[in-house]
Amino acid sequence: MPEKEYVTYGQSSGCGCGCGCATTGASRKITGCRFTLSVMSDRFIDVILGSLAKTNTDKVWKMTDKLSTVYRGRQNNVEDAVKACFMNAFTEGVHMTSEMTFSRGCPGDVDADSMMDVDDTPVNAPALADIHFPVNCKIALYPMGVEDYMHHIATVVNHAIDLGIYEKSSHYCTILSGDVHDLFDYFHYVNSYCSEHLSHYIFEVTLSVNSPTAE
Amino acid sequence: MPEKEYVTYGQSSGCGCGCGCATTGASRKITGCRFTLSVMSDRFIDVILGSLAKTNTDKVWKMTDKLSTVYRGRQNNVEDAVKACFMNAFTEGVHMTSEMTFSRGCPGDVDADSMMDVDDTPVNAPALADIHFPVNCKIALYPMGVEDYMHHIATVVNHAIDLGIYEKSSHYCTILSGDVHDLFDYFHYVNSYCSEHLSHYIFEVTLSVNSPTAE
């Protein structure tokens, strides 16, 4: 029986798997987003493939596995590509949710699997500017490795209150709602805030459109 | 214009909203799970309602909003009810995902909205014991407020390796796969480990069945 290969996050020499086994972490500020589109329709494959065909992902590193897709690169470009994927998949009358995990600064991260040497002008933005629809949303921010994490969470939630997109606090998340652009502008604020104030964070977002559930 | 009501997690006196505004946090060990079933079919409402009708939730506090359902109570009972909801929704040939956020110990948590004064014998387990199907899964553990969080993450990932359900590490998560019972047994281990070693944690799980994506 072969010996098991255990993980040693942040403790071993780099194993080169791009997963979290390096000693030093990434030296560049790579923003990542792992996301899934869940389309509650028999036509879910067509909807997702149609969205991907319309989305320009030239400025991000990308990978798709059985569970989700990952984009990595500069913050603006990752946000732009994820937003485009979501907006291009929107279909009138079809219930869809999207789970997005934004993150930066994991001690086990590596410089590989990214695209940083490009400009960060959002390439999908012009085609999306005139499209509007309402979105329900839950968010949760996880500032890692710091004792005052509740303070950072309160700061970003209070900014949502200032913007008028805050609906309520609930168990394990904060509920937001608003136009799709207002929400993604807010995600940009959160990623920027975290980039400035935290060495490692995870920002979990779930979006929902055309839900049949009233409340 | 009315004055805005800001949140002050962990800093103010309790506001009684059950959300994270209390000074003291919860005094009892309440485990919670916020989860969503995403059924990629035109029949998604029937599938979800059918699952709920078969699931015994007598031993958990429950709430459903536009985005997800929350169960709160004793660890065994919450795990049992969430597992039953997921397994009862499984439909041959229908792609379904489920996003589950297990958590305990948030400094802003309150004793309200829970059901702790019941025994913790899993009430749905007998009906599920003989049902088996393969599940793809991604997990991410967030131990809050501690500097050595990567050590705790490595410990639970290595236990998945020992159990033979570990597939690989990837960006922002760990990929697992196995029989549905083996995965939920592992979630029980993680929740138990965190309960013993951490004052506050979030354990994010996404499950997927019948995916058309090969890899």
Query: How confident is the model over A26-78, as pLDDT tens digits?
Result: 778 899 999 999 999 999 999 999 999 999 999 999 999 989 999 999 999 99
What tokens were used for A1?
């029986």
In contact, A52 and A6? CB cutoff 8 Å = no
Mean pLDDT of B206-214: 91
Residue A73, classed as helix, strand or coil, is: strand
Estimate the crossing angle of helix A180-197 against helix A75-89, to 10 degrees: 160
For chain B positions 10-39, those within 8 Å of chain A (CB to CB) are 10-11, 17-21, 32, 34, 36, 38-39
Token pair 């603006």: residue: A76
Torsion, CA A10, CA A16, CA A17, CA A23, rounded to 10: 0
Residue type, A68: S
Asked if B169 lies within 8 A of A17 by C-beta distance, the reply is: yes
Tell me, what DSSP letter sits at residue A93?
T
Query: In this predicted model, what pLDDT tens digit does every residue of A126-161 receive, in sequence order?
Result: 999 999 999 999 999 999 999 999 999 999 999 999
pLDDT score at A1: 57
Which residues lie closer than 8 Å to B92 by C-beta, 6 or more apart?
Answer: B210
Residue A146, classed as helix, strand or coil, is: coil
Q: How far is B136 from chain A (nearest CA, A)?
A: 7
Asked if A150 lies within 8 A of B108 by C-beta distance, the reply is: yes
Confidence of residue B17 (pLDDT cuts 50, 70, 90): very low
- B48 closest CA partner among B86, B16, B78, B19: B86
In contact, B73 and B116? CB cutoff 8 Å = yes
Q: How far is CA A93 from CA A43, A133, B42, B45, B68, in A?
A: 13, 12, 11, 14, 19
Mean pLDDT of A160-168: 97
Residues in chain B: 215
What tokens were used for A89?
């998949």
Mean pLDDT of B180-194: 98
Residue A9, classed as helix, strand or coil, is: coil
Identify the closest residue of chain A to B66 by CA–CA distance.
A215
Q: What ipTM, to 2 d.p.? A: 0.91
Q: How far is B198 from chain A (nearest CA, A)?
A: 13
Among A171, A199, A208, the strongest candidate for a mutation testing the B interface, having the largest count of B CBs within 10 A, is A171
Q: Which long-range contacts (CB under 8 A, 24 or more apart) does B23-27 make?
A: B25/B105, B25/B106, B25/B107, B25/B108, B25/B109, B25/B110, B26/B106, B26/B109, B26/B110, B26/B111, B26/B114, B27/B111
Helix (H) or strand (E) holding B70: strand B69-73
Q: How far is B165 from chain A (nearest CA, A)?
A: 13
| Alpha-helical segments (H) within B72-171 | 75-89, 125-128, 149-163
